A and B are shown apart, each in its own frame.
Chain A
Amino acid sequence: MIHLEICSGTACYVMGGGALLLLAEELPADLAGQVLVTGSPCLELCRNPLGDRKAPFVKINGRIHSSATVESVIEALREARDED
């Protein structure tokens, strides 16, 4: 099972993270059933400068993804699945 943690905190939300929350309800067929989606009130990444990594943030199996979009997250989820 892949764990996808989506940040729904203010900084991530205003930077476009709101759209990512859709992933909790809809995943492409090839990923459905293989991903556990949870939310986080703030992944605490927004306040610690991470170089040029920017909100919105998600974590996939604990690994940080920045500037996340629905497409980039789906891609990263597939990678994580294939790594397993």
Chain B
Amino acid sequence: MDSRFLDIACSQIAKHGQRVYGDSFLSRKSPGGQHAVAVLSDGLGSGIKANVLSTLTSVMALKSVTEAVSPEHTAQLIFRSLPVCSERKINYATFSIVELKGMEKVQLVEYENPQALIFRGSSLFTNTRLETIPARKDIGRGVMTTTCFDAQVGDRIIMLSDGVTQAGLGTKSFPLGWTLKAVRQFIAGMLTDDPDISSRELAEKVTREGLKHDVYTAKDDISCSVTYIRHPRHLILVTGPPFHPEQDELFAMQVKNFDGPKIVCGGTTAMILSRQWAVPLKVVLSRRCSTLPPESKMEGATLVTEGILTLARVSEILCSKDSLWKQESDPAQKIVARLLDADRITLLVGTKINEAHQDPNLPQELDIRRNVMKRIARELKDSHLKDVELTYM
């Protein structure tokens, strides 16, 4: 099969005045990245209560599908174990589960969420096997829909909470809310304009548009998740000189021949490459960021920054859960933006001990390149679902 990669992302906006999301999104890929599950659940109401309900549902769904229980059975399991609201006789949480097997076989199970949108390129894809069954006989309401199809590169599965489709409900411009049909048209427009748009960007565009229809005061939790099957995007980040100086040439060649963006972190590392590639290296003194050493420019490298301080900041940003992409002005933010845009990331870490940092007068923290890189690798893998290869040289 052609080489495939799953780009999964979700964007959420909490109901105005709430500190937590009432919707919950979880996803997981198998270690090789061949199988994946993504769940979007919407808890009844908003705030903490809704958050607990939707989290419970999504955690259960994720665990169960990961343990090879089919999404359909998983749904039954959820119905059996989660309570029903005694007053309104409705389920405490709605959900959509998408499972991808071998990057190809898609099964989508939906319960009471707006119908997920499947796009092939920029057009809606409807050639799927669809099955609808009554979901909860006990409370006599709700249907569960199962959709199956074989995915191709370029397909997207987009799951929404009703905060999206109902955005703007009751306003003059959107008396019936944004509606699924209009959301579909909006997404089709986005995909026509930018066929390669990343999942993160597309999801953010949708939630921001929803918020706009709500006149910037979200009336409900607004969530959109995108699962995109595409060819992988490669990126290399190098930091630290190779252990043996004789390896410099090989190291420089390896970086040069890499097919994809190249990020260089560290002055000495950049100087080695500049020497080996015979291109000038220039520190950019204008538009400085006040908290990190400035960037440099070098032909052949996408981004050149200082080493350990910048990488420590990158790791901090990656580990923090709140919005990561606020401002891209400082070098660490720029690195993060690049990393998050890539699918397969090679981290090449040189292991030569930096004599400079052996000075007892310098903070000890500086001698932790390897640990910082390990942390970045782990965070990229676990929280951002990237394929990461960490090599030492």
Where the two chains meet, the residues of A that have a C-beta atom closer than 8 Å to any C-beta of B are 6, 8-11, 13-15, 18, 21, 24-25, 37-42, 44, 46-48, 54-55
Contact = CB atoms under 8 A, between A and B. Distances in A.
B293 A11 contact: no
Contact of A10 (B286, B288, B304, B308): B308
Contacts of B363: 14
B271 A41 contact: yes
B309 A10 contact: yes
Contacts, number: 80
A37 B285 CA distance: 9
Contacts of B354: 47
18 contacts: A6-B285, A8-B293, A9-B268, A10-B293, A10-B308, A14-B309, A24-B286, A38-B285, A39-B284, A39-B294, A39-B296, A41-B271, A41-B304, A42-B267, A46-B355, A46-B356, A47-B354, A54-B361
Interface string B280-303: 011111101010011010000000
A38 B356 CA distance: 22
A12 to B, nearest CB: 9
Nearest to B361: A54
B359 interface: yes
A78 B363 CA distance: 33
Nearest to B305: A41
B357 A38 contact: no
Contacts of A54: 361
A55 to B, nearest CB: 8
Contacts of A55: 356
Interface of B: 266-268, 270-271, 281-286, 288, 290, 293-294, 296, 304, 306-309, 354-357, 359, 361-363, 366
B356 A11 contact: yes
A41 B296 contact: yes
A41 B267 contact: yes
A14 B296 CA distance: 18
A8 B290 CA distance: 12
B306 to A, nearest CB: 6
B268 to A, nearest CB: 6
A40 B306 CA distance: 11
Contacts of B357: 10-11
A21 B282 CA distance: 14
A8 to B, nearest CB: 5
Contact of B306 (A10, A15, A24): A10
A70 B41 CA distance: 57
A11 B67 CA distance: 49
Nearest to A42: B267
Given A11-B357, A47-B355, A38 B362 contact: no
A36 B13 CA distance: 49
Contact of B362 (A8, A11, A21, A42): A11
Contacts of B290: 18
Contact of A18 (B267, B268, B286, B293): B293
B22 to A, nearest CB: 44
Given A14-B309, A38-B285, A21 B294 contact: yes
B372 to A, nearest CB: 13
B41 to A, nearest CB: 45
B294 A42 contact: no
A48 B356 CA distance: 8
A10 B307 contact: yes
A11 B359 contact: yes
Contact of A9 (B267, B282, B361): B267
Contact of A38 (B270, B283, B307, B309): B283
Contact of B283 (A11, A25, A39, A44): A39
Contacts of B285: 6, 21, 24-25, 37-39
A12 B390 CA distance: 28
Nearest 7 A-B pairs (CB), nearest first? A39-B283, A41-B267, A42-B267, A46-B356, A47-B355, A24-B285, A9-B267
Given A8-B294, A9-B267, A14 B366 contact: yes
- Of the candidates B270, B294, B309, the one having the most CB atoms from chain A within 10 angstroms of its own CB is B294
